[in-house]
């Protein structure tokens, strides 16, 4: 039931009696890692959480940051990993629904959803064809679930990332990020202060789906996990849409005092947390709770995680206004209890008191564990290995064509084409660029948003990998013309009770915190998902440590918005930053060796900050046509993914590195720019002034006709290094290989 023996003993000690079944269930969910952060809280205190623009940091449904002119942006990331592994469609769909409720429960209208997804390999292997087949099933249905819910509820899914690696075969990761906009005076809170106030249940009826979902999310997956299908919630996006509109209208009426969505732990979490934060108590009559199943017990009612539900505390005398608004939207609403002075949760069912718990024990006495950490010997051995053990491939073009067809680097258009990313018509940069951009209606502002991570780097060196996750997500926002405001994070790790796993978590958080402090990016909220391990033939196998970072940035003027895509034939290509002799954790290393080893790329935070600040300045000056962060796949992939509308490239780059390293190194703090010729010298001067390395490497060409506009060879995707042509490809052919790779894998 979510409690270990020591925790149950502590509950008995605190209460002075044995809890009954319902009370034990309440403690089980509220003391789970998912709700209490009992293993991670000591580490989370390292994060910067305050800043001049932060209106609400951790502690409420989501973080809130000022964007000027009386407006604020609200955003958060949540995971739905275990449910998606069991029932991928509903697991992913309700993950979207849950994060949207976090957003509009704070008073904001949701304007965007992003996601970070991780799966096992899509291709069949000679040894394990069943695993790949199941991965394709999980992947296809997770994407369908995100699309099915997001498209129906009318919130655009505008960006994200998808990763593939063997370590996720049994335990996929589904992280959803929600973003909303509100005026400062619309901000809501979840504190049930004051007494003699009615508690109102709003939304769908309570069923038996999702019971013990919070504790299920805090367990490893094993062969019996499918039996826990009832722990997976079932979403209703049509009710979700009505709920959004009704809630926003009732907020405007001023008739309610506080609100919280019923997410993890359902009615238990919303009632206890609202009361505890307000220093009061709550008495509920469970007979009044709408139920869609017969003969539900108090235990089931309190622990159900049925979707599309909210809990309100009404201002005295204004209850009828609340009911009228919800009736107008055809959303059920009913009084189920009252706020009381005594700081307890008191539950009545069939005329009897079935639970009475001091809130200080439920919410304030959670054991916090100071876990021991130990650097795994395997990490020491991997870091001591030589990262480059292969000779330069004879045919780099063939190698490049193979690389761009790997699901990790292939176009994710098969995914995002299933999403409605234009609903509400505010999306100005669609999925496929470094960051999505959504206009702020009624202003000349826009928001750039990105979610990123690279678990391979964290696997090799968690501290460096954590730094890179923050820096790369922020860099993507800057490349789009936005000033990064704050971050939200999703920490996906294995079992923290194991010293080696806790070491990964501790080191990754330390690296992320260092980067956040240095770049002045407060962490306004997020999610911790632990116990991501799968029972195999011999033991539990943990995922790679996978922190994901969501960043929202402010574009002060819409015309500063920049994409990664080339726009004009003749524009000059500039590469900012140093390309180094490093391949540890790179996609190219993994393809050559079948594994990763060595150290991840270095990250100098001072150079990263200077690069981002200088880049943002020249974008705002109007000197940049396109900007693209170099990350997975290195320069070669960045060049390909910037080519659209029959625009190709010719590159002739002088560099003192092996050709394969020059093409595929994933060195950090690098950006590919296209600049109109007459502004190149100005940009170069700005870079020299700030000591940012800057190299002219080529130009943009029209590729509509072979040999057009003076191309050196057919095809218009030509890369020469030190005067030697190493890649000469027909642009359309190579783009088709990249564009359709995932679709081909899914058709197996």
CB atoms within 10 A of CB 370: 7
Q: Report how far residue 412's alpha carbon sits from residue 249's, in angstroms, rounded to the nearest whole number.
A: 37
Cα radius of gyration rounded to whole Å, the chain: 26
Q: Report how far residue 159's alpha carbon sits from residue 169's, in angstroms, rounded to the nearest whole number.
A: 23
Cβ within 8 Å of residue 568, ≥6 positions away: 625, 647, 674, 676, 700
Q: Is 80 an annotated catalytic residue?
A: yes
3-state DSSP of 40-84? CHHHHCCCCCCCCCEEECECECCEEEEEECCEEEEEEEEECHHHH
Q: Is 82 an annotated catalytic residue?
A: no
Q: Which of 744, 623, 598 lies closest to 678, judged by CA? A: 623
State the first-to-last Cα distance of the chain, in angstroms, to the nearest integer.
41
Q: Locate 338 and state its tokens.
A: 């009252």
User: Which DSSP helix (H) or strand (E) runs through 534?
Assistant: strand 533-535
Scanning the structure block, which residue is given the tokens 């063939």?
398
Sign of CA dihedral 482, 484, 486, 488: positive
Scanning the structure block, which residue is given the tokens 């790369």?
472
b/e sequence 429-465, b meaning 16+ C-beta within 10 Å: bbbbbbbbbbbbeebebbbbbbbbbbbbbbbbbbbbb
Query: Are 583 and 388 a contacting pair, CB within 8 Å?
Result: yes
Q: Report how far residue 52's alpha carbon sits from residue 165's, in angstroms, rounded to the nearest whole number.
A: 40
80, 82, 189, 349: the catalytic one is 80
Cα diameter, the chain: 87
| Residue 544: half-sphere exposure toward Cβ, Cα within 13 Å | 28
Q: How far is CA 500 from the centre of its chain?
A: 24
Instruction: List residues with catalytic annotation.
Output: 34, 80
């Amino acid at each position: 039931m979510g409690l270990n023996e020591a925790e149950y003993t502590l509950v008995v000690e605190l209460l002075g009696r044995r809890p009954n079944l319902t009370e034990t269930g309440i403690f089980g969910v509220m003391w789970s890692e998912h709700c209490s952060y009992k293993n991670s809280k000591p580490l989370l205190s390292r994060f910067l959480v305050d800043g001049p623009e932060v209106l609400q940091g951790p502690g409420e449904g989501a973080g809130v940051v000022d964007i000027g002119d009386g407006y604020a942006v609200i955003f958060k990331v949540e995971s739905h990993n275990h449910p998606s592994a069991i029932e991928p469609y509903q697991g992913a769909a309700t993950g979207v629904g849950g994060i949207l409720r976090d957003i509009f429960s704070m008073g904001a209208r949701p304007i965007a959803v992003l996601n970070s997804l991780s799966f096992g390999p899509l291709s069949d292997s000679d040894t394990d064809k069943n695993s790949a087949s199941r991965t394709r099933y999980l992947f296809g249905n997770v994407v369908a679930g995100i699309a099915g819910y997001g498209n129906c509820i009318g919130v655009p899914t505008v960006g994200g990332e998808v990763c593939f690696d063997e370590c996720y075969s049994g335990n996929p990761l589904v992280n959803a990020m929600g973003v909303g906009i509100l005026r400062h005076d619309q901000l809501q809170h979840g504190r049930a202060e004051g007494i003699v106030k009615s508690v109102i249940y709003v939304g769908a009826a309570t069923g038996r789906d999702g019971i013990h979902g919070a504790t299920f999310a805090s367990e490893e997956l094993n062969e019996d996990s499918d039996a826990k299908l009832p722990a997976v919630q079932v979403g209703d996006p049509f009710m979700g849409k009505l709920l959004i509109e009704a809630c926003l209208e009732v907020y405007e009426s001023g008739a309610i005092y506080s609100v919280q969505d019923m997410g993890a732990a359902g009615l238990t979490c919303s009632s206890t947390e609202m009361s505890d934060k307000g220093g009061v108590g709550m008495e509920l009559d469970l007979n009044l709770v709408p139920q869609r199943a017969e003969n539900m017990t108090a235990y089931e009612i309190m622990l159900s995680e049925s979707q599309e539900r909210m809990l309100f505390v009404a201002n005295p005398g204004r209850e009828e206004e609340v009911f009228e608004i919800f009736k107008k939207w055809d959303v059920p609403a009913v009084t189920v209890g009252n706020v009381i002075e005594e700081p307890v949760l008191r539950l009545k069912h069939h005329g009897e008191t079935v639970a009475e718990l001091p809130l200080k024990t439920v919410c304030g006495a959670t054991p916090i564990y100071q876990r021991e950490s130990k650097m795994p010997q395997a990490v020491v051995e991997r870091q001591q290995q030589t990262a480059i053990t292969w000779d330069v491939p004879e045919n780099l073009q063939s190698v490049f064509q193979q690389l761009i067809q790997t699901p990790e680097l292939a176009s994710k258009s098969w995914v995002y084409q299933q999403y409605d990313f234009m609903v509400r018509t505010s999306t100005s940069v669609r999925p496929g660029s470094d960051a999505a951009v959504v206009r702020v209606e009624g202003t000349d502002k826009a928001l750039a948003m990105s979610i990123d991570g690279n678990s391979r780097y964290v696997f090799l060196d968690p501290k460096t990998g954590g730094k890179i996750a923050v820096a790369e997500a922020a860099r993507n926002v800057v490349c789009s013309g936005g000033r990064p405001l704050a971050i939200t994070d999703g920490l996906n790790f294995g079992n923290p009770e194991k010293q080696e796993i806790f070491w990964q978590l501790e080191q990754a958080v330390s690296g992320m915190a260092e980067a956040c402090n240095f770049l002045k990016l407060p962490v306004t909220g997020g999610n911790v998902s632990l116990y991501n391990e799968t029972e195999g033939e011999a033991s539990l196998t943990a995922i790679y440590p996978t922190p994901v970072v969501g960043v929202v940035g402010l574009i002060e003027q819409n015309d500063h918005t920049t994409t990664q895509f080339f726009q004009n034939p003749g524009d000059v290509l500039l590469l900012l930053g140093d390309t180094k002799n490093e391949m540890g954790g790179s996609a190219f290393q993994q393809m050559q060796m079948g594994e990763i080893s060595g150290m991840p790329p270095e990250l100098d935070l001072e150079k990263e900050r200077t690069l981002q600040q200088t880049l943002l300045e020249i974008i705002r000056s109007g000197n940049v046509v396109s900007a693209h962060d170099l990350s997975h796949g290195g320069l070669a992939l960045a060049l390909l993914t910037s080519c659209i509308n029959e625009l190709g490239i010719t590159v002739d780059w002088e560099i003192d590195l092996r050709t394969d390293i020059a093409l595929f190194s994933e060195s950090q703090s690098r950006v590919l720019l296209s600049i109109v010729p007459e502004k190149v010298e100005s940009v170069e001067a700005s870079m020299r002034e700030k000591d940012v390395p800057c190299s002219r490497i080529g130009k943009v060409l029209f590729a509509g006709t072979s040999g057009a506009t003076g191309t050196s060879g057919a095809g218009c995707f030509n890369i020469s290094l030190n005067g030697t042509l190493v890649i000469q490809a027909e642009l359309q052919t190579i783009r088709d290989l990249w564009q359709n790779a995932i679709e081909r894998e899914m058709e197996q």
